Amino acid sequence: MSQKQMITDVLMVGATGSIGRLAVKAAQRHGLRPRALVRDAQRGEELLPGVELVQGDLEDPATLLSAVGGADAILLTHGSGSDTRRDARAHVDYGGVLNILQALDGAKPRVALMTSIYATRSDIPGATPWKRRSERLLRASGLPYTIVRPGWFDLAGATQRRLVLEQGGTGDGGVARDQIAETLVRSLLTDTALGKTFELIATEGEEPSDWADLFGALKADESGSVDGVLDPFNLPVESEPPALRADLDAVRSLRGAGG
Ligand SMILES: NC(=O)c1ccc[n+]([C@@H]2O[C@H](COP(=O)([O-])OP(=O)(O)OC[C@H]3O[C@@H](n4cnc5c(N)ncnc54)[C@H](OP(=O)(O)O)[C@@H]3O)[C@@H](O)[C@H]2O)c1
């Protein structure tokens, strides 16, 4: 899917969040240089002492241009959870990914995107298609990616450290926040994670020891498809609103841009 990339500088989107803070630590543990996108510099300094900060707002595309500059990789764990606006998911969960991709201006960093185990579910009360739509943007972008759909945060006991990676969007379960963060960072550093989308839960057992095998056992998404390889056909692109199809076209058109 892409040539092997040397990854050092990682833009962390959602870095002040409950997963983002752990992802910053995981990136540091793996010798990467995280740079945190923050809306509020003071909050960033408090939550992420000593971490390089870059100020920006996912809803304000102009503020993202310098944030993405020079990033070898981007790790996205942002979310609109605490935002009470009715359309927050469209603006933040989806619009944030769109704006980041458009800010890249031809650069081709590796991307790890966290969405949700319910991303493709239409039968779960409260589930919306915005995270799935954000995934579609990333696949359409042609960037080298991994999409991680975690189950319920920290709804796994202390001895449930065996990670189970599933595809098809039918599973359920919990996983510890630190394991989500570790999986996201590992996905940036492991070739067998490229072009893959999976749900992530934990069961009784030991931590993974061979990440290449863990990711390698998964099916890759089909080239040219905007959906995960085993995703249910319950949100046809052809039936999506014209504005969203136009976003996909706009992102596809970025493929040829830059070097
Ligand atoms: N709870 C679960 O069990 C579960 C399971 C699977 C998936 N999820 C998904 O995980 C996400 C929540 O993860 P979390 O707990 O890490 O989130 P969180 O603690 O609520 O953090 C959200 C992050 O997004 C950032 N953000 C929000 N709007 C932004 C904007 N306009 N510009 C820049 N940054 C922005 C926040 O920055 P500020 O610090 O500036 O606010 C914060 O860093 C949700 O989307 C949820 O759907 C949750």
DSSP labels, the chain: --------EEEEETTTSHHHHHHHHHHHHTT-EEEEEES-HHHHHHHSTT-EEEE--TT-GGGGHHHHTT-SEEEE----TT---TTHIIIIIIHHHHHHHHHTTT---EEEEE--TTTT-SSSTT--THHHHHHHHHHHHT--EEEEEE-EET-S-TTB-EEEEE-SS----EE-HHHHHHHHHHHHH-GGGTTEEEEEEEESBPPPS-HHHHHHTSPPPPTT-SS-TT--S-S-GGGS-HHHHHHHHHHHHTTTS--
Q: Residue 3: its pLDDT value, please? A: 46
Ligand 1 centroid – CA 5 distance (Å): 28
pLDDT at site 4:
59
- Does the Cβ of 39 fall within 6 Å of ligand 1? yes
Identify the pLDDT of residue 1: 42
Query: Is any atom of ligand 1 closer than 6 Å to the C-beta of 152?
Result: yes
Q: Is the pLDDT of residue 259 over 60?
A: no
The predicted-structure confidence for 219-247, as pLDDT tens digits, reads as follows: 999 999 999 999 999 999 999 999 999 99
Whether 43 lines ligand 1, by a CB cut-off of 6 Å, is yes
In the block, which residue shows the tokens 């935002």? 83
List the residue whose alpha carbon is closest to atom 40 of ligand 1: 39
Reported as a single tens digit per residue, the pLDDT across 14-71 is 999 999 999 999 999 999 999 999 999 999 999 999 999 999 999 999 999 999 999 9
| Residue 14 CB less than 6 A away from ligand 1 | yes
- Calculate how far, in angstroms, residue 76's C-alpha sits from the geometric centre of ligand 1: 9
Exposure class string for 72-111: b at 16+ Cβ within 10 A, else e: bbbbbbbbbeeeeeeebbbbbbbbbbbbbbbbbeebbbbb
Residue 116 near ligand 1, beta carbon < 6 Å: yes
pLDDT at 190 over 90: yes
Mean residue pLDDT of the chain comes to 96
Distance 216 CA to ligand 1 centre (A): 28
CATH for the stretch 3-253: 3.40.50.720
Q: Which ligand 1 atom sits nearest the alpha carbon of residue 19? A: 16
pLDDT in tens, 99-143: 999 999 999 999 999 999 999 999 998 889 999 999 999 999 999
Task: Assess whether the C-beta atom of 57 lies below 6 angstroms from ligand 1.
Answer: yes
CA distance 257 to 108: 10
Enter the pTM of the model: 0.98
53, 36 Cβ separation under 8 angstroms: yes
Range with the lowest mean pLDDT among 80-84, 180-184, 212-216?
80-84
Point out the ligand 1 atom lying closest to the alpha carbon of residue 21: 16
DSSP string over 151-191: -EET-S-TTB-EEEEE-SS----EE-HHHHHHHHHHHHH-G
Nearest atom (ligand 1) to Cα of 153: 3
Q: Tell me what pLDDT residue 81 has.
A: 87
CA of 259 to the centre of ligand 1 (A): 32
Rounded CA-CA distance 252/99 in Å is 14
Report pLDDT for 258. 59
Beta carbon of 60 within 6 Å of any ligand 1 atom: no
